[in-house]
A and B are shown apart, each in its own frame.
Chain A
Amino acid sequence: MKPKVAFFSFTSCEGCQLMFLNLEDELLNLLGAVEIVKFREAMKEVTSDEYDVAFIEGSITTHSDIERIKSIREKTKILVAFGACATIGGINAIKNFQPLEDVRKYVYGERWDFYDTVPTMQVDQVVKVDAAIHGCPVSKKEMLEVITSLLLGKTPNIPDYPVCVECKLAENVCVFDKGMMCLGPVTRAGCGALCPSYGNKCIGCRGLITDPNTNAQKDLLEEKGLSVAEVLKEFRMFDGLSEVSK
């Protein structure tokens, strides 16, 4: 029997689900290998209420989100945090740095208390997460690696070295040499250093490598007159829930 796969979205832009639909070359073959039983953004039919794999896009930001994710966890064998909002909170965590009452009043004025919100949480702060697909948005390559691994029952190969490694391989001019701050030295690779390759800086959307203080390219930073701490401060845009952003 084909594994039953479901997609759920929480607080997010739904861009990672779009990235799944963007697997134009592989989509029809994937639909042959798995049975998609729930995908509200693309399907009306719900063919099962139990899942082998549930992909969770988005952060947990309301009381009803908390109840809903717990209920999904009870119905699925494997739960995958799908994209930065789910794995590390992503940009949704920016609001946590201001008093929530101020945030609600600023956007909704006098009616602020009508809109429920709790401090943004990544999915594993509420329920057990079995696998993560990183990035804002997720990369097609890594999405396929995780999906194929789950189908084959093997551990997906996710890098735990910094973006700098991939950036060097791409033969890019170092972003620091262009006078910009870059999160490449402490951010998990796997994106192929796409942002630096398009003339921009790494914004840390894939989260920190396991031990940034020992693994970060300290020599490189020293050469540029920067400390690991200074680079980590920039992490509040996508990785506001991590210890280093506090």
Chain B
Amino acid sequence: MTDLNVNVHHLTRVEGHGNIVVNSKNGEIIDARLEIVESPRFFEAMLKGRRWQEVQLITSRICGICAVGHTCTSLQSTEMALGISLSEQAHLLRKCIFFAEQLQSHILHTYFLTAPDFVGAPSVIPLATAAPEVVKRALRLKKLANTICETIAGRHVHPIALVPGGFSRYPSVKELKALKETILSYSDDIDETVKLFATFKVPEYYRETEFVSLKNPSEYAFYEGDIYSSDTKKGVKNLDYKTLIKEKMVDHSTSKHCTATRDSYIAGALARFNNNYDQLHPRAKKAAEALKIKPVSYNTFMFSHAQVVETVHCFEEAVAYIDRILEMDYDVNEQPAEPTRMSGRGVGACEVPRGLLIHDYTYENGFIKDANLIIPTGMNLANMDADIRELAPKIIKEPHDKIELLMEMLIRAYDPCISCSCHLLKVEFV
């Protein structure tokens, strides 16, 4: 039997740089891993000594795709540390912009990054000629998400109006009403998205694992909740995240790996779907039925389907939250809440599109003394390695091209964001 040397150098259609390596000798897999070769970025060190008002301006720049998520998690941490309480309208509007970022990121990942694999295209570019209506729909939905972010915070990459204590500018009632009408006009595109993904044949795969996500008794958690493990069936508070999540260095990655109660876990849309299915909007549950995804799903390839379900949920919730804001006593001139102390520790924990994100800051006299950041892709890396080791022996007799494609699809399914986690991807068959 020929020895296998698969080396996908700089995996494409993912954010950041990574390599997939699979080696076999005499029909036995001797090496299978995901190497992370992104340049380290040293954000924790860059935050040291920074003043509380400017921290989120730097952390937003960790990731262009999750800029809103990083900004909000960062603000949560600063606000907890300095005893800043958000008003109800600021709180609702922060949650609302979260739905828009999930929408933007999920549309980008499902239509632009994973759909080409399901239809045998190398990228979305040939699809622009082969299936222009599909590509135009994807662009419309992406634009919708950007419009929501622009109305609420000035722009998506990198949001402007999100500041400690609230907003530096609130959208007017007129802008919010117009935004709601705009969102509602895209309802058919949401249905068509579900229909399209329901036609895709997902590879069969099963590997039992742990799922970690936020959990909140009152809603499908994105912005806040306890950090919950499907193994322990318990949640821990933000400040106690280290009792559940451990970080470690590995030789083949410039991004730290994470574990919880076992060797690896999944964070992200699949974890949220499995842990919090009951709280999905009824329309999203219908979409799950059409997409044939049920909790608990142990098929990593179903990530994009879970994202489509969440897309439906976020679409509906964005409208519902705007309604809530419009129904309350809304003050467009409200000023951000002030700190009540200048020293202390705060931990922000949010579900950003790729999973749980943690920012842990310690402030001294208004300046950051210590910072630790745990990024969703870092959380998934150990599980990606475990999936590569599980899948490789099962497909070892397939043609080289097919092995490479399946390995790429497997890693792409996680929607890895490598520059965030180094802090990700290419398949190397070496």
A14 partner, pick from B64, B122, B143, B158, beta carbons under 8 A: B64
Contact string, B397-427, partner A, CB cutoff 8 A, digits 1/0?
0000000000010000000000110000000
Contact between chains at A24 and B124 (CB < 8 Å): no
Stretch in B75-83, B133-141, B194-202, B284-292 with 4+ CB within 8 Å of A? B133-141
Closest 8 CB pairs of A and B: A15-B64, A199-B168, A199-B169, A43-B123, A198-B154, A45-B122, A15-B157, A198-B160
Q: Please give, as numbers and ranges, the residues of chain B lying within 8 Å of A198 by CB-CB distance.
A: 153-154, 160-161, 168-169
Q: CA separation between A116 and B37, bound complex, in Å?
A: 10
Contact among A117, A137, A194 for B39, CB-based, below 8 A: A117
- Decide yes or no whether B389 CB sits under 8 A from chain A: no
Using a Cβ–Cβ cut-off of 8 Å, how many residues does chain B contribute to the interface with A? 59
**C-alpha spacing A198/B254, complex, angstroms:** 37
Q: Which B residues are CB-close (under 8 A) to A107?
A: 40, 42-45
B142 contact from A11, A13, A21, A116, Cβ within 8 A: A21
Query: Would you mind naming 13 contact pairs between A and B with Cβ atoms under 8 Å apart?
Result: A14-B65, A15-B157, A16-B157, A18-B157, A27-B139, A40-B12, A41-B12, A61-B39, A95-B42, A106-B44, A199-B160, A199-B169, A200-B160
Closest chain A residue, CB of each to CB of B47: A94
Task: State the CA gap A209–B146 with chains docked (Å).
Answer: 30
A19 engages B157 (CB within 8 Å): yes
Q: Does B90 contact A (CB under 8 A)?
A: no
Whole-angstrom distance between the alpha carbons of A13 and B62 in the complex? 5
Q: Is A12 an interface residue (CB 8 A)?
A: yes
Please pick, from B54, B113, B123, B142, the residue contacting A22 in the complex, using a CB distance under 8 A: B142
- Least CB distance, B416 to chain A, in whole angstroms: 12
Residues of chain B within 8 A (CB-CB) of A194 are: 154-155, 160
Residue of B with least CB distance to A85:
B61
The listed residue (A15, A24, A90, A200) touching B146 by CB distance below 8 A is A24
Does A241 touch B at the CB level, under 8 Å? no
Stretch at the interface among B13-21, B294-302, B341-349: B13-21
A contacts with B, residue count (CB < 8 A): 58
B254 touches A115 (CB 8 A): yes
Is B143 in contact with A25, judged by CB distance below 8 angstroms? yes
Task: Tell me if B63 counts as interface (CB < 8 A to partner A).
Answer: yes
Alpha-carbon gap, A24 to B104, bound state (A): 12
When chains A and B are docked, how far (Å) is the Cα of A184 from the Cα of B395? 58
Known: A13-B420, A95-B46. 20 other contacts (CB 8 A): A13-B62, A13-B64, A13-B419, A17-B64, A21-B112, A31-B128, A42-B112, A44-B12, A44-B116, A90-B61, A95-B42, A98-B45, A98-B48, A104-B42, A107-B44, A136-B158, A200-B154, A200-B160, A200-B161, A203-B57
Query: Which residues from chain A contact B143 at a C-beta distance below 8 Å?
Result: 22, 24-25
Per-position 1/0 for B111-149, Cβ under 8 A of A: 011001000001111001000100110011011001000
B67 A15 Cβ-Cβ under 8 A: yes
Assembled-state Cα–Cα distance A100/B29 (Å): 39
Q: A43-B122, A95-B45, A136-B158 are in contact. Are A9 and B419 (CB under 8 A)?
A: yes
Q: A1: CB under 8 A from chain B?
A: no
Number of A-B contacts (CB under 8 A): 170
Give chain A residues whose Cβ lies under 8 Å from the Cβ of B139.
24, 27-28
Pairwise interchain contact B168-A91, C-beta atoms closer than 8 A: no
Q: How far is the CA of A45 from the CA of B123 in the complex (A)?
A: 7
Give CA–CA (A52, B161) in the complex, Å: 38
Residue among B14, B122, B146, B168 with the highest chain A CB neighbour number at 10 A: B168
Q: Could you give, for residues 89-122 of chain A, a 1 whenever the CB lies within 8 Å of some chain B CB and a 0 otherwise?
A: 0111011001000111011110100111100000
Judged by a CB distance under 8 angstroms, whether B251 is at the interface is: yes
Interface residues of B in 60-100 (CB under 8 A from A): 61-65, 67
A24 touches B123 (CB 8 A): no
The proximity string for A residues 231-243 relative to B, scoring 1 for CB distances below 8 Å and 0 otherwise, is: 0000001000000
Q: Does residue B392 face the partner (Cβ distance < 8 Å to A)?
A: no
A56: Cβ under 8 A from any B Cβ: no
Asked if A245 is at the interface of the complex by the 8 Å CB criterion, the answer is no
Check if B305 is an interface residue, CB within 8 A of chain A. Answer: no
Cβ of A76 under 8 Å from chain B: no
Q: Is the CB of B122 within 8 A of A18?
A: no
